[in-house]
Amino acid sequence: MSPDDVELLEYLLLFYELSGQYICGEEAVEIAEKILKHDAANGAALDIVRRNRNG
């Protein structure tokens, strides 16, 4: 399993979206930025970055 596996990274982002927020916003942004390095148009990653950068 590669740490740069986009599908795995997308799966990890789900833990931010769950009601308990099992990962913090800062960690979600780090994961989203890794995804965006491989897929600059990834909607889920872009949404996480936008929401956490704008407060």
pLDDT of residue 17: 87
Q: For residue 19, is it within any domain?
A: yes
pLDDT of residue 53: 83
Q: What is the average per-residue pLDDT within 49-53?
A: 91
Per-residue pLDDT at 4 exceeds 90:
no
* pLDDT (tens digit per residue) in 14-45: 999 888 879 999 999 999 999 999 999 999 99
1 falls in which pLDDT band (50, 70, 90)?
low
Q: For residue 33, is it within any domain?
A: yes
Q: For residue 1, is it within any domain?
A: no
In sequence order, the 6+-apart residues with CB closer than 8 A to the CB of 10 are 35, 42, 44, 45
Q: How many folded domains does the chain comprise?
A: 1
CB of 36 closer than 8 Å to CB of 42: yes
Q: For residue 37, is it within any domain?
A: yes
Q: For residue 35, is it within any domain?
A: yes
Domain that holds residue 11: 6-53
Q: For residue 44, is it within any domain?
A: yes
